[in-house]
Structure 1
Amino acid sequence: MRTRPPDPVWRLLVLLSATVAPCATAALLVAMALSGAGVVPVVAVAAAAAVLHVAAWRADRRPVGAFVAAAGAMAVLALVPMPGWSSGVWLPSSACYLLAAWRLVVAGPRPWVRRVLAVGVAGVALTAGASALRAPGGTDGDGAADDGAWSAWLPVLEAALLLAAVVAVWGFARAARAQRERAAADAARRLELARRSERAEIRRDLHDVVAHSLTLVVAQAEAARVGTREPATAQALAQVADTARSALLGLRGMLRVLDAAPAAAGDVVPSLDGLPALVAAAATPLHRVTLTEHGERRALPADAESALVRLVQEGLTNALRHVAPPLTAEVHVDWDAERDAHAVRVRVRDDGGAGPRAGDDAGVRAGTGSGLAAAERRVTAAGGTLDVERGDGHGDGRGWTLSARLPTVGAA
């Protein structure tokens, strides 16, 4: 299975290993044959070199298998003597082993990261041991006494160089893997934030649209039930109201499942033109809801317009949901608020009706609900402010008042 698309640098190194290294290795094999080496050592070295090149070419698709094959080929090269060389591990084609090791550490299974280093160290030890046996006092590949061409310190030097190459490649590959893992973790976090943002947007839309509509259904069914004289009709309307309330409870449970950190913006922008219809839909014989605008309407930024309409919707929804009828609610939009040419004030107030509905906490609308919290975030994101007060702010402690100030187009 392909782990991930290889990067261009990797492709370049594999290309070089498949073009330059084979030519240099072939030249050494010819020199090896001309120096009197047997057929078996030459064939063994040639076969090991071919396996190394195939392993490097397949390392991006099969990193584990390619590394195992390359390690086996290097073991063969470590044991086969070469005239004028301590072993065949110094062939140019041996660089393919380092490429296979790099690829496995960078993009292979995590358990193989340490195994690659262990295999590399073991290979260095095997090479050093085989070289030591062929050093002065040892024997060459034909069993004859060595003629002393090898110095006693040469195997140690070669082992140190090989170990440095193995450790360096492993260390850089491990650092590259750590960098990739950090990048993947960052991408996963960004994806999770986007997912949570989308869930939060769905949650806000469900709350703003569906919950508001269900609340209107409850209010209108109760108003119609009071106005009818038919017991069967009154019972049916009561069932409609109870069903809508049950749907609201189910919706709230679903919203808790969808709860997520909200995005600063991203709502579908409602229009001020729909404000009269929004207010009119909330009115029933038991719910007197009015809209008044003072001053000449001015243009609003998109986020401010969305925040204003959603705030009115939330204020009316809370009044219909938590206050027992008969109820009076007022929506007032002031475009000349305190002679501020760059702001609009909107106020949503209810008179407290016949008191809180049975089972409602008297302080439930003090700003702790998710709907009001979302409305405050919208107002703040649009550059405005929101106040939630008990009563009308002038000594009357009945009902609640939502008051927001939002900037108009041209505000600094």
Structure 2
Amino acid sequence: MQIRPSGDDYAWRLLVLLSATVLPPGTLALLVAMALSGADTVQLVAVGVAATVLHITAWRAAPQPVRAFVAAALAMVVLALVPMPGWSSGVLTPSSLCFLLVLWRLVAVGPDRWVVPALATAVAGVALTGTASTLREPADARLPLWMPVLEAALLLAVVVGVWVFARVVRAQRRRAVIQASQRLAAARRTERAEIRRDLHDVIAHSLTLVVAQAEAARVGTAERGTERALAQVADTARAALLGLRGMLRVLDAAPSAAGDVVPSLDGLPALVAAATTPMHRVTLTQRGDRRAMPADAESALVRLVQEGITNALRHVEPPLSVAVDVDWDVELDEGGGRDVVQVRVQDDGGSGPRAAGDPGGSPGTGSGLAGAARRVEAAGGEFAVVRGRGWTLCARLPTVGAA
């Protein structure tokens, strides 16, 4: 896995800029000192070319960390092998710091498979540097053993320190990637949950109305052909309901706290009228003066009415009566208090529950009432279900005063 670097990696850009402006003068001064110390042209060219390559790799490490590291490692090999008068090793050239930048970049954002080899390469370079420095020493001018050991230990500490710091940064970047993926997955689950609720609230409700209206029309017709056609319409709608429930199971996800598109209270009469047939009597009664409601509370009220009607038409045999009651004066009748509106959706039980084998009356996903309850509670209201001969859905939702 390669960790994608941030688009705002200002610290890295600043370090590369500093390496390109601060280090070259030091390297140039070193080349002048080498020339004055008697270094030949080959040595000067080798050090100059290696230093130039290191600066180029620091600049190219952002888009191509692997290639930059390989080139930087080869340049460091050249510096380690080129004899430098008065210096233990060419790796102490100021431009060699570019290798540390490239190492950090590869370990921090490069492919996983290069993290450990990068450290092994750097450690091998330290060993090569110490060995080459020791072999170049004249036999009559050997330094104390602790000096090359100390130099190798310091180089090793710097290399390992940079590598460890880069690993920490890599871990932080990986956590950020994982957290971003989790947020994206949560957003997708939220979207799927919203689609699921909308499909259930809108399409399932409409298909249930189609079944109810087709069944009611069959009762009122004496023509066999028309009755068969209406029966086919009802069966097709039931099959569509079954298919929809299967799709809802595929889209099942954790509920979202995000608000839905707010249905309007002005649509309640049309909602009730659409559900009314000769076999299904649905009425709407509103008492008191309507008041404004918060958007989430208004959405919860309309969805509750829709769910109550849908459940009655789906699970109860006609003839059936459903009463929708919206009471704006409930708190005034009970001695005052905070402004609320009470809504009840109550069916009379009809001719009894539908048979278990009837596709139109199967239990379904069970998400409708749960979704309605979540909406009411999220809007700061209270929700209850009462079972008698029929079912009663009852909720109290907050209002914001007179409209």
Match of residue 402 from structure 1: 393
After superposition, the Cα gap between the structure-2 partners of 1:194 and 1:410, relative to the gap in structure 1 and judged at 3 Å, is farther
Residue 199 of structure 1 is aligned with which of 184, 192, 196?
Answer: 192
Q: For the residues of structure 1 that align with 2:59 and 2:245, how far apart are their CA atoms?
A: 57
Q: For the residues of structure 2 that align with 1:296 and 1:410, how far apart are their CA atoms?
A: 10
Answering whether residue 82 of structure 2 is matched by residue 73 of structure 1, we say: no
Q: For the residues of structure 1 that align with 2:244 and 2:34, how far apart are their CA atoms?
A: 82
After superposition, the Cα gap between the structure-2 partners of 1:154 and 1:73, relative to the gap in structure 1 and judged at 3 Å, is same
Residue 82 of structure 1 is aligned with which of 61, 81, 84?
Answer: 84
Q: Which amino acid is the alignment partner of residue 173 of structure 1? A: A
Residue 322 of structure 1 is aligned with which of 315, 320, 327?
Answer: 315
Match of residue 57 from structure 1: 59
Q: Which amino acid is the alignment partner of residue 382 of structure 1? A: A
Q: Deviations over 1:92-134 (max 9, x none)?
A: 0000100000111111111111111111111111111112223
After superposition, the Cα gap between the structure-2 partners of 1:16 and 1:22, relative to the gap in structure 1 and judged at 3 Å, is same
SS class of match (2:292): coil
Q: For the residues of structure 1 that align with 2:107 and 2:193, how far apart are their CA atoms?
A: 39
Answering whether residue 88 of structure 2 is matched by residue 103 of structure 1, we say: no
The 8 Å contact of residues 192 and 253 in structure 2, kept in 1 or not, is answered as yes
Which deviates further from its counterpart, 7-16 or 38-47? Answer: 38-47
Report % sequence identity. Answer: 72
The 8 Å contact of residues 3 and 173 in structure 2, kept in 1 or not, is answered as no
Tell me how far 1:366 sits from its aligned partner: 9.9
Q: How does 1:12-51 map to 2 (within 5 A)?
A: 12-51=14-53
SS class of match (1:328): strand
Match of residue 345 from structure 1: 342
Uncovered stretches (5+) of structure 1, i.e. residues with no partner: 136-144, 392-397
Q: Which amino acid is the alignment partner of residue 368 of structure 2? A: G
Uncovered stretches (5+) of structure 2, i.e. residues with no partner: none
Q: Deviations over 1:258-298 (max 9, x none)?
A: 11112123201111111111011111000011111122211
Match of residue 287 from structure 1: 280
Q: Which amino acid is the alignment partner of residue 341 of structure 2? A: V
Match of residue 210 from structure 2: 217
Aligned length: 394
Tell me how far 1:367 sits from its aligned partner: 12
Q: For the residues of structure 2 that align with 1:190 and 1:2, how far apart are their CA atoms?
A: 18
The 8 Å contact of residues 356 and 362 in structure 2, kept in 1 or not, is answered as no
Residue 164 of structure 2 is aligned with which of 171, 196, 203?
Answer: 171
What is the RMSD computed on CA atoms of the aligned residues?
2.1
Q: Which amino acid is the alignment partner of residue 31 of structure 1? A: A
Structure 1 segments (4+ residues) deviating >4 Å: 364-368
Q: For the residues of structure 2 that align with 1:224 and 1:147, how far apart are their CA atoms?
A: 116
Structure-2-length-normalised TM-score: 0.93
Q: For the residues of structure 2 that align with 1:365 and 1:239, how far apart are their CA atoms?
A: 19
Q: For the residues of structure 2 that align with 1:410 and 1:174, how far apart are their CA atoms?
A: 59
Match of residue 134 from structure 2: 132
Q: For the residues of structure 2 that align with 1:6 and 1:304, how far apart are their CA atoms?
A: 42
SS class of match (1:299): coil
Match of residue 113 from structure 1: 115
Structure-1-length-normalised TM-score: 0.91
Q: For the residues of structure 2 that align with 1:18 and 1:151, how far apart are their CA atoms?
A: 36
Q: For the residues of structure 2 that align with 1:382 and 1:185, how far apart are their CA atoms?
A: 33
The 8 Å contact of residues 286 and 326 in structure 2, kept in 1 or not, is answered as yes
Q: For the residues of structure 1 that align with 2:145 and 2:343, how far apart are their CA atoms?
A: 93
Match of residue 269 from structure 1: 262
SS class of match (1:278): helix
- Higher RCO (C-alpha 8 Å, min separation 6): 2
After superposition, the Cα gap between the structure-2 partners of 1:313 and 1:57, relative to the gap in structure 1 and judged at 3 Å, is same
SS class of match (1:71): helix
Q: Which amino acid is the alignment partner of residue 345 of structure 1? A: Q
Q: Which amino acid is the alignment partner of residue 315 of structure 2? A: H
Answering whether residue 271 of structure 2 is matched by residue 252 of structure 1, we say: no
Residue 309 of structure 1 is aligned with which of 299, 302, 314?
Answer: 302
Q: Deviations over 1:222-248 (max 9, x none)?
A: 100110010000000000001111111
After superposition, the Cα gap between the structure-2 partners of 1:366 and 1:405, relative to the gap in structure 1 and judged at 3 Å, is farther
Answering whether residue 321 of structure 2 is matched by residue 358 of structure 1, we say: no
